[in-house]
């Protein structure tokens, strides 16, 4: 699991900036086309490998935005370009990544990672709900600058197909910014699939429909959580009265606007009780759903505080989970199970299972070392603790893998 | 029955039934109060609830072999409303990071000389970074000089060139190109032609 930021010795940074990390070899081969959109050499930071030290001096005459050294560097007064040197964690920033630097700090953030299996456009820390299991507790700040950063980021990332998440907080809080980002992505990187995570409440305003219809993005999905088949239970989970009604209205508006919808469910003590009824509700009232995601809970953020209300051993809800998943599956909805360790899963659910935990936030425990399914398992969240561990965690033998139905190599 | 009694019954029943006449206006019901033009509101009708049980093109799930992907019968047959087209939102040309860091000004005023880069530099300044930079800001000359730089870099790594990476196709650079071409069996032109660029591993553009 790899951090997303680290400290560097930073020199000559005068304004906040995004930079694309590029090796000399890549610069030779691709030039500025290494970036997907409009970029120029000032947006590049050259990766100065120790092996190339003999021509570092010549490299530093290149008109790139800066130079990145893995070891310490003696200050050279002749060069005014940005210098990043001596990272505390040298694995964090790698060629192909896009980093964010700022004059007020020596922390360098990786906002896009070439080798990650999921990259995210972070929209805002604000949210209009306060879910009991929120993994990203909201802050009341004016962070509109994320919009501009993401617009710039779309120009600097690698071209090529991948899935980009758009999340926060609540992305729809910056309505114009969100629409601008989606439109810019449709123009700059149309080969990348967008996955917007939103509670959908603000989409209950039907003026969104016309805007969404003109988005013109070839591949975008809206992931909207629905935690119950009734308002009382849903509003209790999201800690916002009226949320269920707003979300349902938002879902219908999304459908009117021709958008693809994914319904998300977080499995906790508050939600598994009526899981079969919920699946029935989704089928009857939201039959246009393209995907249903049933997700294990992440022990981070507000979930830690609400342990008593939320925690239920996954082994105790496998029956309801199977009922809900098979109910939807047989009726033609695509179902996935995320964020659970493979060993606690009911065997018939194998084919819905996805390795869903991002590689920068997953880990395995000691028991997993003897497991034959580690390559196919999502593992645990980095925030995992024994309190949140199922009693059924055990290494899977090859025989158990055989009875687990479905392809073990499918990835989220 | 006497006529007066009939009249009393008639009037009595009318009084009882009168509230019923106003009932359509008491419900906030499905039938919306129409706008002045009496046209239906296109965006407020309920979406179609076609599912695998009642859609006319639904696949018989018991007969067909279930595939992994969802059935297209779920897509709404709801007709789109024409007429209104939202104006295209173009990416804002404001500089990104509109929240300026307070230390920026201090940095600028105390050490103005380090703001400029001593190396030759294209026209973009270190000030506002426009998101939608116009294409005209990168003239063709800069593209060529960038390509020359990439060639010089490649030749340097291959040990054919040891001069400055300055983007200028001077005698030293040309000589190195010719030496590389001779060693690689390419026509000795001294120019950055396609076979030479391919051999150096430079993708065009």
pLDDT in tens, B17-60: 888 877 666 655 444 445 566 666 666 666 666 676 666 666 55
Residue B193 pLDDT: 86
The percentage of chain A sitting over the pLDDT mark of 70, rounded to a whole number, equals 97
Mean pLDDT to the nearest integer, A103-107: 91
Q: Do B43 and A30 touch (CB under 8 A)?
A: no
* DSSP H or E stretch at residue B196: helix B194-200
Mean pLDDT to the nearest integer, A231-258: 96
Q: Do B107 and A103 touch (CB under 8 A)?
A: yes
pLDDT surpasses 70 at A337? yes
Q: What is the pLDDT of residues A150-202, one digit of tens each?
A: 999 999 999 999 999 999 999 999 999 999 999 999 999 999 999 999 999 99
Whole-angstrom Cα distance, residue A115 to residue B126? 30
What pTM, to 2 d.p., does this model score? 0.76
Helices A275-285 and A318-330: angle between axes, nearest 10 degrees: 20
Chosen for mutation from B42, B43, B90, B172 (greatest number of chain A CBs closer than 10 Å) is B43
A305: CB partners within 8 A, 6+ apart:
none
**Nearest of A179, A196, A199, A181 to residue A138 by alpha carbon:** A199
Return the higher-pLDDT residue of B24 and A394.
Answer: A394
Residue B4 pLDDT: 93
**Chain A residue at shortest CA distance from B46:** A252
Phi, psi of A163 (to 5 degrees): -105, 125
Q: Do A184 and B91 touch (CB under 8 A)?
A: yes
**Chain B residue at shortest CA distance from A291:** B70
Task: Please report residues of A whose CB lies closer than 8 A to that of B126.
Answer: 14-15
3-class state of residue A29 by DSSP: helix
Of A265-269, A363-367, B38-42, B137-141, the one with minimum mean pLDDT is: B137-141
3-class state of residue B23 by DSSP: helix
pLDDT surpasses 90 at A315? yes
Q: How many CB pairs under 8 A join A and B?
A: 192
- Residue A81 and residue B119 in contact, taking contact as beta carbons nearer than 8 Å: yes
- Interface predicted TM-score (ipTM): 0.70
Residue B20 pLDDT: 81
| A180 at interface of B, judged by CB pairs closer than 8 A | yes
């Amino acid at each position: 699991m790899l951090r997303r930021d680290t400290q560097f010795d930073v020199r000559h940074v005068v304004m906040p900036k995004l930079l694309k990390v590029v090796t000399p070899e890549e610069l030779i081969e691709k030039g500025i086309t290494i970036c997907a959109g409009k970029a120029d050499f000032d947006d590049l930071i050259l990766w100065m490998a120790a092996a190339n030290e003999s021509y570092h001096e010549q490299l530093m005459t290149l008109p790139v935005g800066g130079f990145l050294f893995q070891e310490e560097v003696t200050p050279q007064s002749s060069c005014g370009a940005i210098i990043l040197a001596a990272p505390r964690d040298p694995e964090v920033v790698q060629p192909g990544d896009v980093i964010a630097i700022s004059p007020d700090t020596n922390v360098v953030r990786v906002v896009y990672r070439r080798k990650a299996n999921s990259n995210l456009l972070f929209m805002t820390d604000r949210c209009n709900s306060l879910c009991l299991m929120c993994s990203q507790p909201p802050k009341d700040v004016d962070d509109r600058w994320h919009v501009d950063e993401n617009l710039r980021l779309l120009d600097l990332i690698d071209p090529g197909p991948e899935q980009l998440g758009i999340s926060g907080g609540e992305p729809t809080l910056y309505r114009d910014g969100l629409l601008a980002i989606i439109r810019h992505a449709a123009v700059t990187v149309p080969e990348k699939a967008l996955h917007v995570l939103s509670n959908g409440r603000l989409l209950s305003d039907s003026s969104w429909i016309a805007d969404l219809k003109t988005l013109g993005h070839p591949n975008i999905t809206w992931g909207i959580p629905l935690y119950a088949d009734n308002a009382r239970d849903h509003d209790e989970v999201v800690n916002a009265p009226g949320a269920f009604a707003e979300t349902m209205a938002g879902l219908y508006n999304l459908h009117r606007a021709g958008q693809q919808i994914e319904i998300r469910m977080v499995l906790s003590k508050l939600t598994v009780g009526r899981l079969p009824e919920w699946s029935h509700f989704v089928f009857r009232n939201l039959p246009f759903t393209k995907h249903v995601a049933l997700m294990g809970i992440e022990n981070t953020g507000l979930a830690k505080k609400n342990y008593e209300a939320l925690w239920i051993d996954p082994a105790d809800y496998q029956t309801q989970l199977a009922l809900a998943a098979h109910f939807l599956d047989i009726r033609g909805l695509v179902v996935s199970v995320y964020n659970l360790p493979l060993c606690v899963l009911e065997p018939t659910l194998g084919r819905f299972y996805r390795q869903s935990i991002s590689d920068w936030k997953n880990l395995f425990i000691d028991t997993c070392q003897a497991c034959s399914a580690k390559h196919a398992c999502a593992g645990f969240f980095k925030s995992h603790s024994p309190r949140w561990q199922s009693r059924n965690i055990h290494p899977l033998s090859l025989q158990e893998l055989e009875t687990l139905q479905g392809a073990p190599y499918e990835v989220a | 029955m006497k006529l007066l009694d009939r009249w009393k019954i008639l009037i009595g029943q009318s009084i009882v039934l009168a509230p019923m006449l106003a009932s359509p206006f008491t419900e906030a019901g499905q039938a919306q109060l129409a706008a002045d033009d009496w046209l239906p509101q296109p965006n407020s009708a309920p979406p179609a609830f076609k599912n695998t049980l009642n859609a006319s093109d639904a696949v018989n799930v018991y007969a067909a072999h279930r595939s992994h992907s969802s059935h297209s019968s779920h897509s709404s047959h709801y007709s789109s409303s024409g007429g209104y087209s939202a104006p295209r939102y173009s990416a804002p040309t404001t500089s990104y990071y509109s929240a300026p860091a307070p230390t920026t000004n201090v940095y600028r005023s105390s050490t103005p000389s380090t703001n400029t880069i001593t190396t030759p530099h294209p026209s973009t300044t270190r000030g506002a970074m426009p998101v939608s930079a116009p294409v005209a800001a990168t003239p063709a000359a800069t593209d060529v000089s960038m390509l020359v730089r990439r060639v010089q870099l490649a030749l340097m790594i291959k040990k054919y060139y040891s001069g400055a990476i300055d983007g200028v196709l001077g005698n030293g650079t040309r000589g190195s190109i010719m030496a590389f071409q001779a060693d690689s069996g390419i026509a000795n032109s001294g120019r950055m032609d396609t076979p030479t660029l391919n051999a150096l591993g430079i993708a065009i553009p």
